[in-house]
């Protein structure tokens, strides 16, 4: 055992000396491996960060949450011309389903509408995302409230002019002063600020609660009515824990069909999407992105591996005389083999470490610039290091074998 440890130590020393004595060649070899490791770990880290961000944004939602609307979030077999004729879901249908469907925990009625301008005294914030919803919204999609509160059932039902505003909206309008109880202007009317959200940053789907304002949906219904082309309604439904999702969804479909007077044989004129299906779709996209990343960056690793193998063959050729002398002095084949194999592995590990450092620096830079948290996880660090070692092993094995099989007499004669 001691003999093998000594052999490994001496082989390691020879490898380091060879790398130090051939700095230019070492740098050129490092370049190919560095680019390969950088490319694949950068892509995988970006995909992992994206996946982490999506799951973080959706972590507050129950995966069985359902979205009832006249359009589909994903691909649909229903022709577009037919989908465009579907009616919007209504507040009356929301109220009916809330009381008629068994196993329902919470449901909320929300409107998607255009962005607006909010004013306070001489200060203005434009392009604010308005989120009109019923009071149950916060119970289905919990919000991180910094101060104040969400609007209650009474304010929701009556359509009281109150608003919960995002962090950036509050900061732009009020600065360091307390916004709670202040009057802002929206839709030409004064709204009382009852709450402010914590700073959250932009979500993965373009939503940004920092520049949003939550108001009672009945305020807009009272002001503009239920038939407005600039507003698209949706009913969000959260079932009780443990409910049979298929049966629960089937009951919603049947109750809404009855409400709309659809006959047997008539197609549904609405869509119900379950959040778990959407998360499965996201997982599929992420997996596809990983496969594409591996396919593209694999070529970089292949090129880097060929570069290392080529340099190692050149190294064997240059050191043929030294190999002959070592073998004539008693060095065994496995000593020569390990010497060159270690040299290739160390070379690739150095390239891999440099590549990982570049990914770490890029991740830190993009995190600060884009306000999106890019993370170089331990798994990707281990993967990058392992890939570098494997590339070194594969690239160095043939040159190492060829070096170990040289005849000492012929090697000395060739090197003279």
308 near 396, Cβ under 8 Å? Answer: yes
Q: What is the per-residue pLDDT for 162? A: 96
pLDDT band at 375 (very low <50, low <70, confident <90, very high): confident
Q: Distance between alpha carbon 335 and the CA centroid of its chain, in Å?
A: 47
145 near 214, Cβ under 8 Å? Answer: no
Q: What is the per-residue pLDDT for 1? A: 58
Rounded distance between C-alpha atoms, residue 297 and residue 277, angstroms: 30
- Out of 25-39, 151-165, 177-191, 341-355, which region has the weakest mean confidence (pLDDT)? 25-39
**pLDDT higher than 70, residue 230:** yes
Average pLDDT of the segment spanning 372-399 = 81
pLDDT band at 126 (very low <50, low <70, confident <90, very high): very high
- Out of 3-7, 74-78, 402-406, which region has the weakest mean confidence (pLDDT)? 3-7
Q: What is the per-residue pLDDT for 364? A: 82
342 near 23, Cβ under 8 Å? Answer: no
Q: What is the per-residue pLDDT for 107? A: 93
- Out of 117-131, 245-259, 298-312, which region has the weakest mean confidence (pLDDT)? 298-312
**pLDDT higher than 70, residue 291:** yes
Q: What is the per-residue pLDDT for 353? A: 87
Share of the chain above pLDDT 70, in %: 83
pLDDT band at 414 (very low <50, low <70, confident <90, very high): low
Region of 265 (left: φ > 0; alpha: ψ -120 to 50; beta: rest) is left
- Is pLDDT larger for residue 306 or for residue 217? 217
**pLDDT higher than 80, residue 149:** yes
Q: What is the per-residue pLDDT for 132? A: 95
Q: What is the pTM of this model?
A: 0.66
Residue 147, judged by CB atoms within 10 A of its CB (0-12, 13-18, 19+), counts as: middle
- Out of 17-21, 123-127, 209-213, which region has the weakest mean confidence (pLDDT)? 17-21
Pairing of strands 183-186, 189-197: antiparallel
pLDDT in tens, 156-197: 999 999 999 999 999 999 988 899 999 999 998 999 999 999
Pairing of strands 189-197, 162-165: parallel
- Which alpha helices (H) appear in 126-206, and where do they start and end? 137-140, 153-158, 167-174
SS3 43: helix
Rounded distance between C-alpha atoms, residue 191 and residue 215, angstroms: 9
- Least Cα distance to 204 among 55, 324, 314, 383 occurs for 55
Q: Count other C-beta atoms under 10 Å from residue 153's C-beta.
A: 11
Q: What is the per-residue pLDDT for 316? A: 74
- Least Cα distance to 41 among 220, 223, 294, 351 occurs for 294
**pLDDT higher than 90, residue 117:** yes
Average pLDDT of the segment spanning 389-415 = 76
pLDDT band at 207 (very low <50, low <70, confident <90, very high): low
- Is pLDDT larger for residue 70 or for residue 370? 70
């Amino acid at each position: 055992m001691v003999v093998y440890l000594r052999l490994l130590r001496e082989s390691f020393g020879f490898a380091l000396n060879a790398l130090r004595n051939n700095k230019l060649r070492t740098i050129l070899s490092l370049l190919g491996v560095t680019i390969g490791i950088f490319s694949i770990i950068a892509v995988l880290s970006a995909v992992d960060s994206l996946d982490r961000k999506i799951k973080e944004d959706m972590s507050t939602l129950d995966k069985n949450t359902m979205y009832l609307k006249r359009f589909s979030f994903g691909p649909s077999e229903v022709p577009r011309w037919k989908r465009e004729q579907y009616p919007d879901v209504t507040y009356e249908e929301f109220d009916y389903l809330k009381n008629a469907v068994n196993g329902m925990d919470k449901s909320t009625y929300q409107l998607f509408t255009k962005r607006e301008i909010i004013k306070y005294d001489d200060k203005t914030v434009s392009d604010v995302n308005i989120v009109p919803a019923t009071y149950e919204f916060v119970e289905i999609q919990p919000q991180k409230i910094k101060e104040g509160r969400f609007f209650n059932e009474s304010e929701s039902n009556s359509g009281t002019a109150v608003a919960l505003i995002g962090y950036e909206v509050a900061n732009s309008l009020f600065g360091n002063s307390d916004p709670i109880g202040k009057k802002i202007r929206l839709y030409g009317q004064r709204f009382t600020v009852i709450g402010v959200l914590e700073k959250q940053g932009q979500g993965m789907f373009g939503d940004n609660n920092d520049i949003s304002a939550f108001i009672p949906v009945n305020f807009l219904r009272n002001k503009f009515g239920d038939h407005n082309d600039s507003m698209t309604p949706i009913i969000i439904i959260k079932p009780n824990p443990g409910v049979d999702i298929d049966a629960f969804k089937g009951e919603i479909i049947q109750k809404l069909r009855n409400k709309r007077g659809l006959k047997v044989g008539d197609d549904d004129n609405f869509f119900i999407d379950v959040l778990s299906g959407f998360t499965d779709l996201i997982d599929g996209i992420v997996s596809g992105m990983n496969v594409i990343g591996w396919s593209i960056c694999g070529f970089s690793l292949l090129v880097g591996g060929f570069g290392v193998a080529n340099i190692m063959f050149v190294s064997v050729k240059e050191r043929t005389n030294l190999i002959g002398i070592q073998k004539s002095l008693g060095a065994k084949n496995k000593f020569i083999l390990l010497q060159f194999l270690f040299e290739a592995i160390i070379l690739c590990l150095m390239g891999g470490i440099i590549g990982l450092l570049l990914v770490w620096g890029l991740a830190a830079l993009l995190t600060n610039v884009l306000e999106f948290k890019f993370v170089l996880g331990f798994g990707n660090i281990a993967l990058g290091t392992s890939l570098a070692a494997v590339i070194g092993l594969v690239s160095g094995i043939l040159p190492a074998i060829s070096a170990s099989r040289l005849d000492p007499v012929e090697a000395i004669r060739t090197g003279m």
